[in-house]
Amino acid sequence: MSDQFRPSEEQEMLRASVRALAEDKIAPRAAEIDETGEFPWDVHAALVAADFHAVHIPEAYEGAGADAVASCIVVEEVARACAASSLIPAVNKLGTQGMILSGSEDLKRRYLPLVARGEAMFSYALSEPEAGSDAASMRTRAVADGDEWVLNGVKRWITNAGVSSYYTVMAVTDPDAGANGISAFVVHGDDEGFSLGAPEKKMGIKGSPTRELYFDNIRLPGDRIIGAPGTGFKTALRTLDHTRPTIAAQAVGIAQGALDYAVGYVKERKQFGRAIAEFQGLQFMLADMAMHLEAARQLTYAAAARTDAGDPDATFFASAAKCFASDAAMQITTDAVQLLGGYGYTRDYPVERMMRDVKITQIYEGTNQIQRLVMARQVLRAR
Candidates 104, 133, 271, 283; binder of ligand COS (CB under 6 A) is 133
In this structure, which long-range contacts are made by residues 262-269, counting pairs with CB atoms below 8 Å and at least 24 apart in sequence? 262/286, 262/289, 262/335, 262/336, 262/339, 262/340, 262/351, 265/339, 265/340, 265/343, 265/349, 266/339, 269/340
Does position 242 interact with ligand COS (CB under 6 A)? The reply is no
Does position 180 interact with ligand COS (CB under 6 A)? The reply is yes
Secondary structure tally for the chain: helices H, strands E = 12, 10
Yes or no: say if 161 and 196 are a contact pair by the CB < 8 Å rule: yes
> One symbol per residue from 187 to 226: x for binding ligand COS (CB under 6 A), - otherwise; what is it?
----------------------------------------
Provide the residue count of the chain: 383
Q: Which is nearer to ligand COS, 133 or 195 (CB)?
A: 133
DSSP 251-316: HHHHHHHHHHHHHHHHHH-EETTEEGGG-HHHHHHHHHHHHHHHHHHHHHHHHHHHHHHT-TTHHH
Q: Which is nearer to ligand COS, 180 or 334 (CB)?
A: 180
Catalytic residue (one of 77, 128, 352, 365)? 365
Candidates 74, 90, 126, 285; binder of ligand COS (CB under 6 A) is 126
Number of residues interacting with ligand COS: please give it, by CB under 6 A: 21
- In whole angstroms, the minimum distance from the beta carbon of 209 to ligand COS comes to 14
Does position 234 interact with ligand COS (CB under 6 A)? The reply is yes
Does position 233 interact with ligand COS (CB under 6 A)? The reply is yes
Distance CA 208, CA 196 (A): 15
Residue type, 273: G
Does position 135 interact with ligand COS (CB under 6 A)? The reply is yes
Does position 163 interact with ligand COS (CB under 6 A)? The reply is no
10 flagged as catalytic: no
Distance CA 276, CA 272 (A): 8
The runs of H, that is alpha helices, within 82-104 are 83-102
Q: Which is nearer to ligand COS, 28 or 178 (CB)?
A: 178
Does position 17 interact with ligand COS (CB under 6 A)? The reply is no
- Binding residues for ligand COS, per CB under 6 A? 126-127, 133, 135-136, 157, 179-180, 233-234, 237-238, 240-241, 315, 364-366, 370, 373-374
- The residues that are catalytic are 365
